[in-house]
Structure 1
């Protein structure tokens, strides 16, 4: 796949036009006001029929999975669980990221991470109970993994716990940096099963919690450097009683525990970061090319200066490379060959760095104007930096890539 098809380009243009008319006028309110992104996203889903496509796709998939016909014992991939055409969703992410990357984060965590965590390993009843409303944005989801003392060592340093109490479980723990945390209706709470054994040896399990449950507290949005259109908060769980029907899979002895399930969602999340990076790169490059033609200094357009041309050329190289990564991902999913964790990590590492570099160079090319909020470049530069941190830091991606290489068999030469 070298480029979008004609049909995909028509869809891209329609989404771009919609974003320009319906979302860009709200950007300041989303970025600096008190407007959560959810109603804006719901309207977009309804306009393009994405909610109905997601619901229909889920119903067909659920019917197939519960049929008596033999099926694979392998867990469903996150892309299968999402219920969306990968090209459609990536185009949507790219176009939103040209102006409000934070909205993509809020969207992806709800319809991607949260829905997939339940759909990949939940029972049919659990999937039917929670997944459709997450995929259609009728309910907002949060995926609660990170803790104040964990960060990159999300599982090793995890202290959140689930203790058996009769047929129920008593949950305790706190989570931080949780996308959609302040407004989430449905929370996937990842913790360790406390059976009295050493904490490092405990099983990882996941529970589905609903807003308003006794013992569940959600903080107000946290202040942060960028991604302001994506509310981030803390989750506090104190002696919360959860029935077995809220334990994902309704078993503690799943062939693949929540740790493996989380790693599966990481691959999809990291592919989404590449789409976000591409949107940021495309917008920065477009603004810079226009500015380089129009801005006159020393008697000529600044685009005539070789140092400016160097910046534009490097932006184009980044755009081409990230585009190729996105196209490769679409082909892999369409051929049912999901990326390995190492491949997804390489995709995220390069794309996040490229977007950050391009955004900062765009600010530099605009000079004082780039530092002002009017052109939107300072926002994109702040937002791009988050891509190197969330979903796994650059340093963690390097570790995953290297481990993948070191554990693989040498290639034939």
Structure 2
């Protein structure tokens, strides 16, 4: 794949029209945190028929599993459309994509992959149509990149139930989520770093569950992020994903690593959206802003900045094209490959966005011109889905082996 098809460009233009009409007028409210993004996402789902398609897809999946024990969601051929949508949204409001991606791409996908038939019927319909907002909770105050080893949130068996205690932080959608995936270590008396990690599904309003208020952040302000607190939350076995502590449905570490890979390949599309928007704004500004009687685009140092932005745009776009072809072939990048994509694209987007601020000069430092927002959002990509420092480790292990 070397370019977008005519159909894909039509899809892109339709999304841009929605963005201009339904998102840009509300950017100030989204960026201040006074307007959560969920109603805008639901309006987008309704406008493009995504809610109806999701409802039909989940219905077919669940009825198929009831009848034959098989089935799955059909995503073939839709990879380009999804990545185009993600990219276009990221260029105007990265937080909207984060909230949507965590709810659909992590919360719903975890239930789809790991849940029993009854659990899928219970939680998937609301999540797939975005009637319900999902959160995916693994990060803790003292764990960070050491997600498993540093995990302190725990569950203990109590008869036929479990009792959950602990705390999660930096949880996208945490303050408002209706359905929450929580990872916790089973307190079985073994060394805490070696304990099995189990996955549970919680619902808003459960006794002992507290959802903290949204944090104030540097970027991605349109995506509410907060803390979750668990104080003797009682969980029936029906809330243990897979309803098993052993075998394929037991320890969740492998499944979490797969989720990390999905998050990281998505960063390339997010980065492309930010780069495209910076590129567009800077080219327009260079053509119209005048100094010493001429457009600043005539100055070679400005041309150098624009040229480097174009190189970054081409590189990251080609990375996205390669990703689409890989997915269409029914393959997934390895964790090391996903980390490489995340590392390069996030650094490219951050560099482009900071150069955009510089190109705009004093105007670039003002929120009115939007490159200021893009710079703040781009920086988050170097931390989001695992800091770039940990990506280096995963890439090296992929090249040299796990003992590195």
Q: Smaller-chain TM-score range?
A: over 0.9
Q: 1:256-284 CA deviation, whole Å, 9 max, x = no partner?
A: 63111111111111122111111100000
Q: 1:102-140 CA deviation, whole Å, 9 max, x = no partner?
A: 111011000111111111111111111111211211000
Displacement of 1:407 in angstroms is: 2.3
The answer to whether residue 29 in structure 2 is matched with residue 36 in structure 1 is no
Name the CA distance, whole Å, in 2 between partners of 1:81 and 1:250: 25
Which is further off, 175-184 or 289-298?
Answer: 289-298
Name the CA distance, whole Å, in 1 between partners of 2:176 and 2:355: 35
- Within-5 A mapping of 1:134-213: 134-213=127-206
The answer to whether residue 382 in structure 2 is matched with residue 402 in structure 1 is no
Displacement of 1:254 in angstroms is: 3.1
Name the CA distance, whole Å, in 2 between partners of 1:169 and 1:36: 33
SS in 2 for 1:197: coil
Name the CA distance, whole Å, in 1 between partners of 2:351 and 2:154: 40
TM (normalized to structure 2)? 0.96
Q: 1:55-92 CA deviation, whole Å, 9 max, x = no partner?
A: 22223333444554778xxxx8xxx5989922222111
SS in 2 for 1:367: helix
Name the CA distance, whole Å, in 2 between partners of 1:316 and 1:304: 17
SS in 2 for 1:142: strand
Task: Report the equivalent of 2:378.
Answer: 384
Name the CA distance, whole Å, in 2 between partners of 1:344 and 1:406: 16
The answer to whether residue 283 in structure 2 is matched with residue 286 in structure 1 is no
Structure 2: state its 5+ residue gaps. Answer: none
Name the CA distance, whole Å, in 2 between partners of 1:102 and 1:48: 20
Name the CA distance, whole Å, in 1 between partners of 2:77 and 2:190: 41
Name the CA distance, whole Å, in 1 between partners of 2:74 and 2:146: 26
Describe the shift of the 1:399–1:65 C-alpha distance in structure 2 as closer, same or farther (beyond 3 A): farther
8 Å CA contact retained: 2:149, 2:194:
no
TM (normalized to structure 1)? 0.94
Displacement of 1:200 in angstroms is: 1.4
8 Å CA contact retained: 1:226, 1:382:
yes
Describe the shift of the 1:241–1:359 C-alpha distance in structure 2 as closer, same or farther (beyond 3 A): same
SS in 1 for 2:247: coil
Name the CA distance, whole Å, in 1 between partners of 2:23 and 2:255: 34
Task: Report the equivalent of 1:226.
Answer: 219
Name the CA distance, whole Å, in 2 between partners of 1:132 and 1:260: 25
Structure 1: state its 5+ residue gaps. Answer: 409-413
Displacement of 1:157 in angstroms is: 0.2
Name the CA distance, whole Å, in 2 between partners of 1:113 and 1:84: 20
8 Å CA contact retained: 1:123, 1:248:
yes
Task: Report the equivalent of 1:411.
Answer: none
* Pairs aligned (count): 401
Q: 2:329 aligns with which of 304, 321, 335?
A: 335
Displacement of 1:355 in angstroms is: 0.6
The answer to whether residue 276 in structure 2 is matched with residue 306 in structure 1 is no
8 Å CA contact retained: 2:274, 2:374:
yes
The answer to whether residue 78 in structure 2 is matched with residue 55 in structure 1 is no
Describe the shift of the 1:64–1:333 C-alpha distance in structure 2 as closer, same or farther (beyond 3 A): farther
Task: Report the equivalent of 2:311.
Answer: 317
